Amino acid sequence: MEAILETKYALDTFYFLVSGALVMWMAAGFAMLEAGLVRSKNTAEILTKNISLFAVACIMYMLVGYNIMYPSEAVSAYWPGVSFLLGGDNVASEVLAQNADEWYDGSYYSGMADFFFQVVFVATAMSIVSGAVAERMKLWSFLLFAVVMTGFIYPLQGYWKWGGGFLDELGFSDFAGSGVVHLAGATAALAGVLLLGARKGKYGPDGQINPIPGANMPLATLGTFILWLGWFGFNGGSELIVSNVDEANAVALVFVNTNMAAAGGLVAAMMTARILFGKTDLTMVLNGALAGLVAITAEPLAPTPMIATVVGAVGGILVVFSILALDKIKIDDPVGAISVHGVVGMWGLIAVAITNPDATLKAQLIGLFTILGWVFVASSITWLVIKAIMGIRVSEEEEYEGVDLGECGLEAYPEFTGTKGSGL
Amino acid sequence: MEAILETKYALDTFYFLVSGALVMWMAAGFAMLEAGLVRSKNTAEILTKNISLFAVACIMYMLVGYNIMYPSEAVSAYWPGVSFLLGGDNVASEVLAQNADEWYDGSYYSGMADFFFQVVFVATAMSIVSGAVAERMKLWSFLLFAVVMTGFIYPLQGYWKWGGGFLDELGFSDFAGSGVVHLAGATAALAGVLLLGARKGKYGPDGQINPIPGANMPLATLGTFILWLGWFGFNGGSELIVSNVDEANAVALVFVNTNMAAAGGLVAAMMTARILFGKTDLTMVLNGALAGLVAITAEPLAPTPMIATVVGAVGGILVVFSILALDKIKIDDPVGAISVHGVVGMWGLIAVAITNPDATLKAQLIGLFTILGWVFVASSITWLVIKAIMGIRVSEEEEYEGVDLGECGLEAYPEFTGTKGSGL
Amino acid sequence: MEAILETKYALDTFYFLVSGALVMWMAAGFAMLEAGLVRSKNTAEILTKNISLFAVACIMYMLVGYNIMYPSEAVSAYWPGVSFLLGGDNVASEVLAQNADEWYDGSYYSGMADFFFQVVFVATAMSIVSGAVAERMKLWSFLLFAVVMTGFIYPLQGYWKWGGGFLDELGFSDFAGSGVVHLAGATAALAGVLLLGARKGKYGPDGQINPIPGANMPLATLGTFILWLGWFGFNGGSELIVSNVDEANAVALVFVNTNMAAAGGLVAAMMTARILFGKTDLTMVLNGALAGLVAITAEPLAPTPMIATVVGAVGGILVVFSILALDKIKIDDPVGAISVHGVVGMWGLIAVAITNPDATLKAQLIGLFTILGWVFVASSITWLVIKAIMGIRVSEEEEYEGVDLGECGLEAYPEFTGTKGSGL
C-alpha cells in the first residue's frame, strides 16, 4: 500500500510542477502580447516591466505573500496573521511520516510544488496590470506597486477564498481565479489607470478617439497562443490532484472545457467585430480567445464542453463591447486588459451560478464585490502613496520620445523605425 | 490492485493531456512559421487565419467530427454514421465501473483526454492549408472551408484508419499521421491552390520564377522550433499508453526517433541547398527539419535511431527538390506546405514498408491513394462551392495593397515598413 | 509489487521525457536570444547556426558522444574508450527482465529516455558558443567545430563527472552542469573569440568601446523566458527520479530554487545596472536572470529557496561587471555568453562548497580548472585546425554587408531595414 501511495504522491507532485511550469510560461505570453500591442518606442520598457515583475512577485510571495495566503494557523477568517519566511521546510513530507493513511484521500503532494504553483499565479495577476498602464507609467513606480500587490494585496484576498477565509466559508466559488487572479489584477490596473490618465493624443479635444495601433501583431498573436497553452496548467492544475480515476477525469474535462471556452470566445468576438466594423480585427480576435479563457476559469469543471463553449462565447462578445465602452468614457487601456480580465472576470464569476448547481448568485456577488472593493481601495491608496513619493507618470517629453530611451536607455528595434516610426 | 490500476489510469490520462497540450502548441508553430514566410502586408491576415482555424476546428470536431471519426457503433467500414454531439459524458469512467480487470491491459484512460488529443490533431491538419493559400485567399472563404474540412472531410478518412474503418482492416499503417494528418492537409491545400492560382508577380510571362522573400526569418525559425517541440506530443502521445515498462520504452524510443529524423532532415536539406545554390538557405534548413518530422510520423517506433535519421534525411532531400519542382510547374505555395506535408508525407507512408516488417507496400499505397483521392475530390468540390457562393480570391487591388488592410483593417507592423516594404 | 514497479518505471520515464523536451526547447531560447541581440544583417545566419547546431549535436552524440560519456565498460577513469553506435537497444529494459527487485531503488527508467535527456544537454552547451562568435564567424567553420565539440570535447569531460570518471571519484559536485555544460560551452566560446578577434568597429583606435545594439529586444526577451522555462527541465530533470516521496520533494525543491535563483539574479542585475548606468538596461536584466539560472545549476537541491535567491543574486551582480570587464580587455562577445555561462558558471561551482556540506572547495576547484583547461586546450586546437583548413572569419566585405547575404543568401527582415538599418 505504501508504495502505491508514494507513487500517487509523486504523480500528483509532478503534475503540479508541470502545471506550474505552464503557468510560469504565461508570463512570457503577457510579455509578448503587451509588447505587440504597444508602439515600438515603448516596447523595451514593457518587456522590462513584464519580466521584472515576475521576479519581484516570486521574491515577495516567498518572503511574505505565501504565508499570508496560506497561514499555518490563521488569526481569523478575515486576517490570517503573518507568519515568517518560507524556510525551505516541506510540510507535506512531515505529514507523510506521521500519517501515511491520509495519502489515500489524495490530499498530499510536495509542499514545495504547492508553493511553485501558487507563486506563478500571483505573477499572473500582476502581469495584467502592466498592460493597462503601458506607454506612460514610470518603471520603478510600477515595480514598487508590484512589491505591495504581490506581497500583500493579492495574498489577503487570496486567503479569503483559497486560504480558507470568510469568502470560502460563505460558499463563494472560484475554481482557478476568474476573481482571485483576473478580476483582482484588472481592478489594480483600473485603479492605476484612473490616477494615471490617458496617453497623450489618445482622446481628442472634440471627443474623438484616436486609434494607436500596436507595433507588432505576430508578437501579440504569439502571446495569445502562449497564454492559451499556459491556461491548461492554470485551470488544469487547479484541480490539485490527478492520481485517481475521478480526479483524472476531472482534469481531462477541465482541459477540454478550457480549450472550448477559448474557441467559443474567439469565434464570438471575431463575428462581433466583423459585424460591428466590417473588418475582422485581429486584436479583437485575440482578446476574444483570452476572454473565453477568463470566463471559464471560475468554473471549468461543472459544465459540459458545449456549455463551456457558450460561456466562452458570451465572454467574447462582452469583451468587444467593453473595449469600446471604456474608450467612450476615456479609460485608456492600451491592451484591453481591464475588459478581458475585469469585465469578463466578473462574467466568469456570475456564470458559476448558472453552470454549477452548488453555487449561489448571492455568494458569487459577495465574492465579486469583496475582491473588487478590497483591491480597488488598497491599490488606489498604494498608487497614491507612490505618486506622492516618486510620481507615477513619465514626463511629457519622455512620453513623446518613448519610454524606452528614458527608462531603459535603449531602443527595442533600433534598425526598423527609421522613418515611419519616429514621431508617432 | 485497484489502486494500482487507478494510478495507471491517472498516469496515462496525464500523459495524454500533456501530449495534447504540446500538439495544441503546434498551432502557434504554424502561425509563426507562416507569418514569417509571407510578406509584411499579408501577415496580420495569416495570423488571423491560423488562430481562428484552431477555434473553428475545435468547435466543428466537438459538434460532429469526433463522432464521425470514432463512432460508438459504426454503420459500415466505409461510413460510420453520425451520432450526436459530444455530451460531456465520459465513456472510459463508465467502463471502469463495470470491469476493472480490463485496465490491466492499459487500454483505458479518460475519454475526455482522448477527445483533447484528437481535437488538436484535426487543427494541425487544417493549419497546413493556410500556408499554401497565403497572401491571396479571402479570410472568410478559408474559414468556411475549415468548417467542412474539420467537421467532415478529415474525420471520415480518419475513421477509415484510426476509427477502425476499412483502411485499418486492410493493414494500412500510419502511426501518428504522415497520411491521415499531413498528407490529408497538404492535399486539401493543393486542391485550393489549383483553383486559386499563383500570387500576382510570382511567375513572369517568360517563364521566370520570382522569389518573394518572407518578411521575418526569426518568426519562421521560432515556428519551426515550436513544431519540433510539439511533435514530441504528436508522435509520443500517439503511442496512447505509457504506464507499463514496454509502453514507456516505446514512448521513449518514439521521442528519440522523432528528434533524430528532424536532425537528419535538417542536415540533409542544408547540404542539398548548399550544393544546389552555393548558399545555406535558411528556409530550406527549416523545411528540412519539418520534412524529417513528417517522414518519421508514419512509423516512429519500428526503426532504430540510426534508421530514423536516414528516413528523415531522405525527407530532407526530397523537400528541396519538391519545392523547386512545384515552382517549375507554377504551383505557388508560399511556405512549401505541399512539399513538406504532402510529398514527404507520401514518403513517410512508403518508408513504413521498409522499416516495419508488419507493413506491406501494397497496403501503404492503398492508404496513400485513398487519402489523396478522397481529400482531393471532397476538397475540390468544397472549394468550388465556396467559390461559387462568395469567391475565394481577393481582388487584384486588395492583393496589391495587402490583405491585412482589406480583411483585418490593420497592419501587422505599422511602424516598420515605411519605405522599403510598401509597393513590394 | 511488479505492477507498482512498472508504474514507477513509467512515471520516471515520462518525467525524463518531459524534462528532455523542456531542455530541447532551450535551443529555441538560445536562438531567439541571440537573434535579438545581433544586428538585423546578421540575424538569419545566427538562426541558421542555432537550429543546425542542434541537429549536428544530436547526430554526433548519437554516433559517438553518448558512448564516450556513458561507456558500458570504461577503459580508465580518464579515458572511457569508444564503444560503437547507439543501436536502438534499450539497456534498461534488459536489466528489467533480469532483476525486477532493483527497480525498487528507483534506479531504472528507459535507456532511450536517458539518451534523449543527455542529447539535449550537449546541444545546450554548443548553443552557448554561437552567441559569442556571432556576426563574424563563417557558418560552415562553426558547424565543423560543432561536430568536434559535441562528438568529442564535451563528452569526454562529461564522462569525467557524470559518466563516473575521475572528477566524480574525487568528489567534484555539479548537479545539472554549471561546469559540465555552461562553463564548458563558455570556454569553447572564449577559445573561438580569442582567435577570431572583435567585430569591426567595436573597439575604436583610442580605446573607446562602441555599443552595437541588438536589433530586436522582444526576441531577446522571449529567448530569456524560453530558457527560464526550459531550465525547469534542465535542473528538475537532473534529479533523474521522481517516483517516490523523497525524490518528488527533491524535484519540487529544485523547481522552486531554480525559479528563485533566476528571480534573484534578475533583480540584482537590474539594480546594479540602474546604479551604474542610471538606466534600467533591459539586456542586463535578461542576462541577470540567466546568470541566476547558471549559478544555481551546480547545486539547486541543497539550499533553501532563500539561499537560492542569494546565490542567483550574486550571479546577477557578477554578470554585469563581467560584461563590462570583458569589453575593457577587448574580448568581444555580442551576447554576453562568456560572462553568463563562463564567469557565473564558475561562481556556481564554487557556491556548491558553501551551500552543500558534502562538497569541498578543493574538489570544486579541481573540477573547475579541469573543465576549463581541457575544453580550452582542445577547443583552441580544433579552432586552429579549422582556421588552417578553411578559415574561421568572413571577409571584411561580407562582415560589412552582413553575413546573412553572404552565407544564407537571404535577409532576415527584407522589408524592415530600408533606411536606418543599412550601413550600420
Q: Furthest-apart CA pair in chain C: how many Å?
A: 75
Find out whether B93 and B111 touch, Cβ atoms under 8 Å. yes
CA pair distance C296, C316, nearest whole angstrom = 11
Find out whether B217 and B224 touch, Cβ atoms under 8 Å. no
From the candidates C225, C287, C415, which should be mutated to test the interface with A, based on the most A CB atoms within 10 A? C225
CA pair distance B228, B266, nearest whole angstrom = 11
**Which chains form contacts with chain C, at 3 or more CB pairs under 8 Å?**
A, B
Question: Does the structure show a pLDDT above 70 at A332?
Answer: yes
Which residues have CB under 8 Å from C240's CB, separation 6+?
C12, C16, C109
State percent of chain B over pLDDT 90.
Answer: 83
Question: Does the structure show a pLDDT above 70 at C418?
Answer: no
pLDDT tens by residue, A216-255: 999 999 999 999 999 999 999 999 999 988 899 899 999 9
At C84 the pLDDT is: 52
Question: Does the structure show a pLDDT above 90 at A279?
Answer: yes
Cβ under 8 Å to B: C residues 81-120: 85-88, 90, 92-93, 96, 109-113, 115-116, 119
Q: From residue B387, how far is each of A231, B146, B380 by CA, in Å? A: 38, 14, 10
Which residues have CB under 8 Å from A417's CB, separation 6+?
A40, A41, A411, B415, B416, C420
The secondary element (H helix, E strand) that includes residue A386 is: helix A361-390
Question: Does the structure show a pLDDT above 50 at C363?
Answer: yes
Cβ under 8 Å to A: B residues 309-328: none
CA pair distance A267, A289, nearest whole angstrom = 8
- What amino acid occupies position B395? S
Tell me the average pLDDT across B263-290: 98
How far away is chain A from the Cα of C419, in angstroms, using its nearest Cα?
Answer: 6
Q: Which residues from chain A sit within 8 angstroms of residue B39, using beta carbons?
A: none
Q: From residue B193, how far is each of A420, B132, B283, B373, B394 by CA, in Å? A: 35, 7, 21, 16, 14
Question: Does the structure show a pLDDT above 60 at C102?
Answer: no
Tell me the average pLDDT across B348-372: 97
At A5 the pLDDT is: 86
Residue C89: pLDDT band with limits 50, 70, 90: very low
State percent of chain C over pLDDT 90.
Answer: 82
Q: Furthest-apart CA pair in chain A: how many Å?
A: 75
Ranges A99-113, A134-148, C20-34, C353-367: which has the least confidence: A99-113
Q: Which residues from chain A sit within 8 angstroms of residue B116, using beta carbons?
A: 252, 255-256, 259
pLDDT tens by residue, A47-83: 999 999 999 999 999 988 988 998 877 888 998 876 6
Question: Does the structure show a pLDDT above 70 at A420?
Answer: no
Q: How big is chain A, counted in residues?
A: 424
At B84 the pLDDT is: 53
At A421 the pLDDT is: 41
Find out whether A88 and C253 touch, Cβ atoms under 8 Å. yes
Which position has the higher pLDDT, B359 or B88?
Answer: B359
State percent of chain B over pLDDT 70.
Answer: 92
Which position has the higher pLDDT, C88 or C171?
Answer: C171
Question: Does the structure show a pLDDT above 70 at B29?
Answer: yes
Question: Does the structure show a pLDDT above 80 at C132?
Answer: yes
Q: From residue A404, how far is each of A134, A333, C202, C225 by CA, in Å? A: 11, 19, 23, 20
Question: Does the structure show a pLDDT above 80 at B240?
Answer: yes
At B102 the pLDDT is: 46
Which residues have CB under 8 Å from A122's CB, separation 6+?
A57, A61, A65, A150, A154, A155, A158
Ranges A341-355, B70-84, B300-314, C226-240: which has the least confidence: B70-84
Mean confidence (pLDDT) of chain B:
92
Question: Does the structure show a pLDDT above 90 at B150?
Answer: yes
Whole-model pTM: value is: 0.96
Residue B383: pLDDT band with limits 50, 70, 90: very high
Find out whether A226 and A235 touch, Cβ atoms under 8 Å. no
How far away is chain C from the Cα of A282, in angstroms, using its nearest Cα?
Answer: 20
Residue B244: pLDDT band with limits 50, 70, 90: confident
pLDDT tens by residue, B113-134: 989 999 999 999 999 999 999 9
At B306 the pLDDT is: 92
Q: Which three cell numbers stand for residue B352?
A: 513504413
Tell me the average pLDDT across B44-68: 95
Which position has the higher pLDDT, B420 or A206?
Answer: A206
Q: Which three cell numbers stand for residue C120?
A: 539535449
Residue A260: pLDDT band with limits 50, 70, 90: very high
Q: Which of B1, C184, C39 is closest to A414 using CA atoms?
A: C39
Residue C86: pLDDT band with limits 50, 70, 90: low
CB pairs under 8 A between A and C: 212
Question: Does the structure show a pLDDT above 70 at B389?
Answer: yes
Residue of B nearest to A274 (CA): B408
At A82 the pLDDT is: 67
Which residues have CB under 8 Å from C379's CB, separation 6+?
C145, C149, C153, C187, C188, C191, C192
Tell me the average pLDDT across A324-338: 97
Q: What angle do CA A21, B176, B317 make, to 5 degrees?
A: 100
Tell me the average pLDDT across A314-343: 97
3 state SS of C420:
coil
Q: Does B43 touch chain A (CB under 8 A)?
A: yes
Mean confidence (pLDDT) of chain A:
92
Under DSSP, the state recorded for A198 is P
